[in-house]
Structure 1
Amino acid sequence: MADRFRVTIAQANPTMGDLAGNAAKAKAAWEAGKSAGSDFVALPEMFILGYNAQDLVMKPALQAACLEQIKALAADCADGPAMGIGGPFAEDGKLYNAYFILNGGRTVSKQLKHHLPNYTVFDEVRLFDSGPLGGPYAVGNTRIGSPICEDAWFPDVAETLEESGAEFLVVPNGSPYYRDKFDRRMSHMVARVIETGMPLIYVNMVGGQDDQVFDGGSFVLNPGGHLAVQLPVFDEVTAHVDLVRDGDGWRCEEGEKAVLPAGEEQDYRVCVEALRDYMGKTGFKKVLLGLSGGIDSAIVATIAVDALGAENVRCVMLPSEYTSQGSLDDAEDIAKRLGVHYDYVPISESRQAVTNTLAPLFAGLDEGLTEENIQSRLRGLLLMAMSNKLGEMLLTTGNKSEVAVGYATIYGDMNGGYNPIKDMYKTRVFETCRWRNANHRDWMNGPAGEVIPVSIIEKPPSAELRPDQKDEDSLPPYDILDGILHMLVDEEASVADCVAAGYARETVKRVEHLLYISEYKRFQSAPGARLSKKAFWMDRRYPIVNRFRDDSGA
């Protein structure tokens, strides 16, 4: 029996539905494995199609196309190492999340996912049938078990594989990021290793898909739960790991151990990678955004430059008579620091035309929110016109605090194709700006140094839609607002819980009311990078029509 076994880990970035392109990436990894003398090349879960495919995976034509692509891939990779690659498998009226084992020009085995996640962004119970608990597959005279993603979060699949002769585990994953998720993954995998006594190779994909970013971070654990190999997060990497067998069984030789960045860096990189892949995978090359001189548009402009390069970013200042000189100066300053194209498009003339048009209808009525929102909607109209004419995707810039309580104008500043900070609370926006000013990495296309003027970070936030307006005229201070929102949204806490935490009940009830009545806006809002387990879209799904209010804590 062989005493050495080399596995090539392909921490790769698929594109949803690009079957030929994904197969080409798989073949490139296989060729790297062949050149390195590998016995097995492991790709992530559902790699041939991409993940998370949602209802797309239910199309019979797509299922058939995936199988044809896998068949062709097997033929192309006949002379060399075996390969594991994820994809959908339909049989006898059932659809499975499968892991195909290719060897010698054909599919020699299929592992079928047993535990189907049905929480947060996952709807696998709706999409797939549960496969039976099965045994390992053979590569030469070595027997390997492959619990697919969620299967490794429970003890029964790995235990069954051990009992039926598996010698080590290769776990293919499509596991998207949220802050601190890596620690949860690691704790579950350590548990499987300790329970079974087998080494475990964890293979995760990278790259953005709509709101989700897959962060990679693949690793190898030896018996006892000891870390042998740690690949970096977010980077596409093809790595080779060597397992050796002695009298005590298999162990992985020590290899690369990448240092994982802190949470604030990972959050920022998710925003960058999400936008970069959303653009690249949908075919857009350039973006534009309204640059107000405020902190939200400043961080979005910086994310855009880091993702796409300054030459692909257009920033537009659209001032009204309420726009302060400070905002004008700050917007021009950050545009120069980032090196982006900068346009100056005043809205006063357009606003006056709309005012004149509506004057007969609004005669005798006081000015107020309607007139403020006209300014925002004019900006949205002009930015969308530029987007249409120039072929540049419009970015929207509302943070999670504003998105939560509806402090944004639908068909106005909510216009746009993507929102990089949709899941970033306002207080986190401030922290992120300070972090970016103090740090630069090689995956950033933007300049190093203080790219966001300190004056933008330090001035009181304002929509500048009326004289001397401040956000705190309409909302609680952001540290209080975000604390309440974190409890109500991220923790699903009650009003009583918030009051017990020290927040005034009147303030909590007001925030709860704004949260519920803004659901219709979020339903129509642009997608954005997911940073938490309670991002607005697939994580948190609430009805638009809803009369429930929490009366606890009275």
Structure 2
Amino acid sequence: MKIAIAQLNPTIGDLSGNAQTLLEIAQTAANQGVRLLLTPELSLCGYPPRDLLLRPQFIANLAQKLVDLASEFPPQLAVLVGTVEVNPYATEKGEKSLFNSMALLQHGKIERVFHKRLLPTYDVFDEHRYFASGEEANLFVLYGHRTPETHLKIGVTICEDLWNDEQFWGKRTYQVNPLEDLANAQVDLIVNLSASPYTLGKQALRESMLKHCATRYGIPIIYTNQVGGNDDLLFDGCSVAMNRQGEIVTRAKAFGTDLAIAEYDLETQDLTPTTVKPLPSSAEAEIWSALVLGVRDYARKCGFSRAVLGLSGGIDSALVAAIAAEALGRENVLGVLMPSPYSSDHSISDAEQLAQNIGIQSQTLPIEPAMKAYDQLLAPLFAGTEFGIAEENIQSRIRGNLLMAIANKFGYLLLSTGNKSEMAVGYCTLYGDMNGGLAVIADVPKTRVYALCQWLNQEQSLIPPAILTKAPSAELKPGQTDQDSLPPYEILDDILSRLIHHHQSPQEIIAAGHSPQIVQKVSRLVNRAEFKRRQAPPGLKITDRAFGTGWRMPIAVVMGNW
């Protein structure tokens, strides 16, 4: 029996477009003799729909679109479609008004609706804001050719329902384990329909967990994941099927839409090998694919076809330019050089060489005349003061203003180029280099930026060698380098990783061997920069702790040694 995984890239709120994609993939699957088609969590409306779920008309339109789909799908095909279902007992029981659901469509109608049982409320997830929990084990019988031997008893789980096996995690996060309930119901196959956001290395964790669950319960599992970028969240796909022995028998593409066919052998009551597509070959390849997908989808889904960014001759803008060219096409990217009197000759030549290597258009706009105009305007007020941070930041804000003007004039998406290390400690200028519609590498530490550029240069010399070797500098005053204000990035990034990702206290970080003065300074900078991060453009999330949807720190706070 053929079971197909539809690894889809929905656009949130585009009910007609998403439905058309579902219809097309269903027809393709039916033509290949597929009996059951699996689609991701909330595949009809896209995940996460967030506060669209508070709009009654959106829910009504979603329900009608599901009815329409049921009548249009090929009659011989059963399809599980991710949707939202109204909770009829919400008022009576004091529950949320909706369920996160999976509808079984076949024979021209909606035959069954299954509700997600475990609702995550951590990191980027906030499902208790909208949904009530399903209370029953979800399963159905997929009928074959009349005889019971050809029937398949299938257990249905939705994303988080799979992530609560106490033997794998060493604890339970929720009171119930839907997999255990399905095993007790003696299902033949478990399917999981997910919209599981990407973070670096997450697929290895998923596959390890799936292997554990398949072997613990002796039940094959098919995991179907969404792919694509939705705002700051990236979805990597990598849908996978495991047999009873925990062996991977089918895997869909990484970071691309796909229709993967899994085969269930009714005699052995197990999944048999089909096509197992490879995962990215390295962490750098994985991150590159994620960021390219994120830029491409953010632009496409927001209605942009072209992008603009500032080219400083530094490594951050070099990486963002390369990503943008890959995502949108090099003919659709404009790099703007904005030298000041403090810009070195090699920074200008490096930026020009980079644009030539990548093949993007470039434009040079010297900012000295604008700097002089600001000096004249502010001279009465700044009289008797020394040149300092205010004057340095004016340069950044002139550049940000020019880039925003270009973006407004021509309808370009402005890409900001700040990395995670800078965002963490506030080494960036509000309304200056932080300007933009998308912060491409805001979740990429500086040391990882270097690693990515070195990886890029293994295949072809895209990033000029001088950009990789010179000391990083904002070049806002003569002879300036980043290390005038910050510790070396190798030290800074390790402290930031301990502080942000591992929630270590300053005392613990000092005990690990870092200088007390540096640790206290970095900790203070991270806390003080929260007001800047709150005003930053959305940044593509590639780690388990990004400055975005899942980061919920107060701005006005007195921090102690925690």
Q: TM-score, normalized by length of structure 1?
A: 0.95
Which of 393, 398, 413 is the aligned partner of 2:433?
413
Q: Which residue of 2 aligns with 1:443?
A: none
Counterpart contact for 1:533–1:539, Cα < 8 Å: no
Moved more, 150-159 or 323-332: 150-159
Distance 2:379 2:178 in 1: 70
Counterpart contact for 1:136–1:165, Cα < 8 Å: no
Deviation string, structure 1 residues 8-42 (Cα, Å, up to 9, x no partner): 11011111110111111111111011101111111
Counterpart contact for 2:473–2:480, Cα < 8 Å: yes
Residue 165 of structure 1 deviates from its aligned partner by 4.1
Q: Which residue of 2 aligns with 1:70?
A: 66
Which of 25, 45, 70 is the aligned partner of 1:49?
45
Which of 326, 332, 338 is the aligned partner of 2:346?
326
Q: Which residue of 2 aligns with 1:222?
A: 243
Distance 1:22 1:64 in 2: 16
Residue 329 of structure 1 deviates from its aligned partner by 0.5
Counterpart contact for 2:342–2:477, Cα < 8 Å: yes
Q: Which residue of 2 aligns with 1:16?
A: 12
Which of 260, 284, 290 is the aligned partner of 1:264?
284
Which of 36, 48, 57 is the aligned partner of 1:61?
57
Distance 2:246 2:262 in 1: 17
Secondary structure of the residue aligned to 1:147 is strand
Q: What are the ranges of 5 or more consecutive residues in structure 2 without an aligned counterpart?
A: 91-96, 144-150, 166-176
Secondary structure of the residue aligned to 2:6 is strand
Residue 381 of structure 1 deviates from its aligned partner by 0.7
Q: Percent identity?
A: 40
C-alpha RMSD over aligned residues: 1.1
Counterpart contact for 2:71–2:109, Cα < 8 Å: yes
Letter paired with 2:473: S
Letter paired with 1:96: F
Which of 27, 34, 54 is the aligned partner of 2:30?
34
Residue 160 of structure 1 deviates from its aligned partner by 1.6
Deviation string, structure 1 residues 400-427 (Cα, Å, up to 9, x no partner): 0000000000001100000110000001
The alignment status of 1:207 with 2:228, answered yes or no, reads yes
Counterpart contact for 1:172–1:204, Cα < 8 Å: yes
Runs of 4+ in 1 over 3 A off after TM superposition: none
Distance 1:418 1:399 in 2: 12
Moved more, 155-164 or 256-265: 155-164
- Map 1:508-519 onto structure 2 (within 5 A): 508-519=519-530
- Map 1:166-315 onto structure 2 (within 5 A): 166-246=187-267, 249-261=268-280, 262-315=282-335
The alignment status of 1:108 with 2:111, answered yes or no, reads yes
Q: Which residue of 2 aligns with 1:154?
A: 164
The alignment status of 1:96 with 2:99, answered yes or no, reads yes
Which of 521, 536, 540 is the aligned partner of 1:529?
540
The alignment status of 1:145 with 2:148, answered yes or no, reads no
Counterpart contact for 2:82–2:103, Cα < 8 Å: yes
The alignment status of 1:122 with 2:132, answered yes or no, reads no
Secondary structure of the residue aligned to 1:233 is coil
Distance 1:522 1:60 in 2: 33
Residue 151 of structure 1 deviates from its aligned partner by 0.4
Q: What are the ranges of 5 or more consecutive residues in structure 1 without an aligned counterpart?
A: 440-448
Letter paired with 2:262: V
Counterpart contact for 2:250–2:261, Cα < 8 Å: no
Counterpart contact for 1:241–1:252, Cα < 8 Å: yes
Secondary structure of the residue aligned to 2:334 is strand
Distance 2:106 2:450 in 1: 52
Q: Which residue of 1 aligns with 2:172?
A: none
Letter paired with 1:90: V
Counterpart contact for 1:347–1:379, Cα < 8 Å: yes
Counterpart contact for 2:252–2:259, Cα < 8 Å: no
Distance 2:243 2:11 in 1: 32
Counterpart contact for 1:78–1:106, Cα < 8 Å: no
The change in CA–CA distance for 1:394 and 1:159 in structure 2 (over 3 A counts) is same
Distance 2:138 2:157 in 1: 10
Letter paired with 2:401: L
Q: Which residue of 2 aligns with 1:446?
A: none
Deviation string, structure 1 residues 272-305 (Cα, Å, up to 9, x no partner): 1000000001100100011000111110101100
Counterpart contact for 1:135–1:164, Cα < 8 Å: no
Distance 1:223 1:311 in 2: 49
Residue 195 of structure 1 deviates from its aligned partner by 2.7
Q: TM-score, normalized by length of structure 2?
A: 0.94
Which of 389, 392, 403 is the aligned partner of 1:372?
392
